[in-house]
């Protein structure tokens, strides 16, 4: 079932897609492992941290439901607004299990950031990691009644949401456990290297080198 954008990209067409994928006979290894959803495309600059973390851990983005990319572990991304398109929110949450999604990362901003908490309720028991896009969204994301769980990261920390999602998956997949350990080793090595550099080279040299590296990478990114 290749995903192609319909001529009329209505909410009904989006729901139809989700429900027909839920009914498709697809093995778990073909479907996206992680579903990333966000309340608005304006959240993408914050949610991109989750994509970056997953790419660093060797995940590929899956854009066609039953034609996975080469990587064994994959994620998908949709915009789902809890208030503008509640029917799509319901459809995404309700079909998550049958679509083979193991864990959902849901980000929303503003004071009524209800996408993560409502998705957690509807998709239950599929775990949902909430990302408050702004500080003012934190209470709305984490404020769940007893019996209706959600886990959440601090405002804007979508990178950590992805790491947490992979931690959950790694309980079932040793390959992911190894990747997380390698990620952590690199993280600690980077801190140690910085510590040597700032101490042994002196603060001024460290700052100048870092500024040079920053301008080099922005020059590269522009081309």
Q: Which residues are annotated as a binding site?
A: 40, 43, 84
Contact at 8 Å (CB) between 62 and 69? yes
- Report the residue from 10, 12, 20, 42 that binds ligand AIR according to the rule CB under 6 A: 42
Shortest distance, position 119 Cβ to ligand AIR, whole Å: 12
Contact at 8 Å (CB) between 122 and 98? no
Contact at 8 Å (CB) between 113 and 43? no
- Report the residue from 35, 39, 132, 156 that binds ligand AIR according to the rule CB under 6 A: 39
Verify binding: residue 116, ligand AIR, rule CB under 6 A.
no
Shortest distance, position 131 Cβ to ligand AIR, whole Å: 10
Q: β-strand 60-61 against 128-132: which pairing, if any?
A: unpaired
Residues 129-168 that bind ligand AIR (CB under 6 A): 133
Stretch that binds ligand AIR, among 9-17, 82-90, 141-149, 167-175 (CB under 6 A): 82-90
Within 8 A by CB and 6+ apart from 182, the residues are none
Three state DSSP letters for 4-72 = CCCCCCCHHHHHHHHHHHHHCCCCHHHCCCEEEEECCHHHHHHHHHHHHHHHHCCCEECCCCCCCCCCC
Within 8 A by CB and 6+ apart from 24, the residues are 1, 65, 66
Q: Which two tokens stand for residue 216?
A: 């080099």
Shortest distance, position 43 Cβ to ligand AIR, whole Å: 5
Which residue number, 115 or 163, has a Cβ lying nearer to ligand AIR? 115
User: Beta partners for 37?
Assistant: 78, 106
- Report the residue from 81, 117, 158, 164 that binds ligand AIR according to the rule CB under 6 A: 81
Which residue number, 74 or 77, has a Cβ lying nearer to ligand AIR? 77
Which residue number, 68 or 116, has a Cβ lying nearer to ligand AIR? 116
Verify binding: residue 112, ligand AIR, rule CB under 6 A.
yes
- Report the residue from 1, 12, 52, 83 that binds ligand AIR according to the rule CB under 6 A: 83
- Report the residue from 36, 37, 113, 153 that binds ligand AIR according to the rule CB under 6 A: 113
d(CA 158, CA 115): 15
- Report the residue from 32, 35, 68, 109 that binds ligand AIR according to the rule CB under 6 A: 109
Residues that bind ligand AIR (CB under 6 A): 39-40, 42-43, 81-84, 108-110, 112-114, 133
């Amino acid at each position: 079932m290749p995903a192609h954008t319909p001529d009329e990209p209505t909410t009904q067409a989006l729901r139809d897609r989700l429900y027909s994928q839920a009914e498709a006979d697809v093995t778990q290894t073909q479907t996206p492992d992680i579903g990333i959803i966000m309340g608005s495309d304006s959240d993408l600059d914050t949610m991109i941290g989750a994509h970056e973390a997953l790419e660093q851990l060797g995940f590929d983005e899956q854009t066609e439901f039953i034609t996975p990319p080469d990587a064994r572990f994959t994620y998908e991304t949709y915009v789902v607004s809890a208030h503008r398109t509640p029917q799509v929110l319901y459809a995404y949450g309700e079909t998550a299990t049958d679509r083979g999604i193991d864990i959902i990362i849901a980000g929303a901003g503003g004071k009524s950031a209800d996408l993560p908490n409502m998705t957690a309720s509807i998709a239950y028991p599929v775990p949902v990691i909430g990302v408050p896009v702004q500080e003012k969204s934190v209470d709305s994301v984490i404020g769940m009644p007893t019996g209706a769980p959600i886990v959440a990261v601090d405002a804007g920390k979508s990178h950590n949401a992805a790491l947490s999602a992979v931690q959950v998956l790694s309980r079932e997949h040793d390959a992911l456990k190894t990747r997380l350990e390698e990620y952590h080793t690199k993280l600690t090595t980077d801190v140690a290297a910085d510590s040597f550099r700032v101490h042994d080279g002196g603060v001024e040299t460290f700052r100048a080198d870092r500024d040079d590296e920053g301008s080099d990478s922005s020059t590269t990114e522009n081309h």
